Amino acid sequence: MSLMYEKTSVWSKISESELKEIMVLGESYKEFLDKGKTERRAVEFIEKRAVEQGFIKLETALANGKLNAGDKVYYTYKNKAAVMMIVGTEPMEKGLHIVGSHIDCPRLDLKQRPLYEEGGMALLKTHYYGGVKKYQWTTIPLALHGVIFTKEGKKVDVCIGEDEADPVLYINDLLIHLSADQMQKKLSEGITGEQLNIVVGNSDFGSEEGEKDPIKKKIMQILFDRYGIEEDDFAVAELEAVPADKARCVGLDRSMIAAYGHDDRSCAYASLEAICEVENPKKTAVALFVDKEEIGSNGNTGMTSMFFENMLAEVLLLEEGPVDLAVRRTLGNSQILSADVSATFDPTFPEVSEKLNANILGCGVSVSKYTGSRGKYSCNDANAEFLAEVRAIFEEENVIWQTGEMGKVDQGGGGTIAEILAAYGAEVVDCGVPVISMHAPMELVSKADVYMAKKAYRAFLKTSRAGAKF
């Protein structure tokens, strides 16, 4: 028994062999970050990993007309969301164990008519996606990912700036010498949305005298040669600018990782690796990877979409009895970890946190009973009964975890997919990796916390505990 509680660092509690595991996971996580910079790329990575691990396409399993305990299936939806599922020994109607994360991140999307020429440069207009501090996106190397359709209906995959040999893209900021007016502005207005214009060209080499927009024309020629696209094809394109830098270890002790997209790819990756280590669970285990969380979870690949319910209906159609009721029972009886990152105490900005209830970097995976803002508005406030159940599962597997809220009361706030999943009547709690500099082009996490998130999700997905008794 220990009468008093003290938060302690993961690093101080682990064995030599676990230290090795943390570092190995850190390296494979960096690969996921570099290869999965957009929701489409993340789905490609998840699908490949699932297939490697013996998961079969859900459609194939359904065509066979039967799913048996222990079967591993995966499902992708519109190339932007994914589900991995291991069928349990218990009927699905008794509830699933789900770990739900999101694979979209804040970024800059190209507008539908993006390209123009001005002042000796060709530029692309953007519209930011998710919550960003706009000034942070200037003067850093950017890469471009996405798809364009030609008029012949050919889908073209665009990727510029990731290969070492590739050029990168860039957004201008004003030189300090002429920033007298800009420096007087509020931080939120120093760079505006319409100033986030991406430079893509400067050369009009070989153009004819008096030619209109020769730099822009040259860029279109390059795009035509490489991808076979014309300017009006941008109208039916989906192109996303993201930081071009690769994930890097941080600290002389290599204990942390700086990268684009820890929110929420740290939790997505932790749950991907967790479900890969689960065999023959009692409850059907599900890793759910959704899109659009950063813009409110709307859209047909976001959590408010019916795609996951529809998928479950197809699965439950294999059983006897009314499907609609089976879906309701399955979801209503489910227990869910909403796997999303959480804010963390930052010694440089201590004033926004209440230290007793803030996450501390390196002290383990974070459990947040509630998120939301003001008086807990717009959040899922988890039930104590379920929290107790989650604690018991974590203790059984020696998961090092901490509780943490977003920040001081009335300082701001944020939401996750937890409240959407709670609408089914399922038990849900937020549980994820603590992050520093959330939504910045390069965010920071501790490798120890990513590792504990994986350990926590694995413990939750494979548990054979009887479940909470309410």
Q: Give the residues lining the site for Mn ion (CB under 5 A).
A: 263-264, 340
Closest approach of Mn ion to the CB of residue 250, in Å: 20
| Nearer CB in complex with Mn ion: 263/419 | 263
Closest approach of Mn ion to the CB of residue 352, in Å: 16
Closest approach of Mn ion to the CB of residue 1, in Å: 37
Closest approach of Mn ion to the CB of residue 42, in Å: 13
**Joined tokens for residue 54:** 């013996």
The DSSP code sequence of 248-298 is EEESTT--EEEETTHHHHHHHHHHHHHHHT--S-SSPEEEEEES-GGGTS-
Q: Is 239 helix (H, G, I), strand (E, B) or coil?
A: strand
Contact 104, 294 (CB under 8 A): yes
| Nearer CB in complex with Mn ion: 114/432 | 432
Q: Is 432 helix (H, G, I), strand (E, B) or coil?
A: strand
| Nearer CB in complex with Mn ion: 284/368 | 368
146: DSSP letter: E
Distance between CA atoms of 40 and 242, rounded to whole angstroms? 13
Which residue number has the CB closest to Mn ion? Answer: 264
Distance between CA atoms of 433 and 155, rounded to whole angstroms? 36
Closest approach of Mn ion to the CB of residue 297, in Å: 10
| Nearer CB in complex with Mn ion: 221/378 | 378
| Nearer CB in complex with Mn ion: 437/463 | 437
Other Cβ atoms less than 10 A from the Cβ of 209: the count is 5
Closest by CA position to 445, among listed 25, 45, 134: 25
Closest approach of Mn ion to the CB of residue 355, in Å: 23
Residue with tokens 């920033």: 179
| Nearer CB in complex with Mn ion: 291/427 | 291
Q: Judge residue 3's burial from the number of C-beta atoms within 10 Å of its C-beta, 0-12 exposed, 13-18 middle, 19 or more buried.
A: exposed
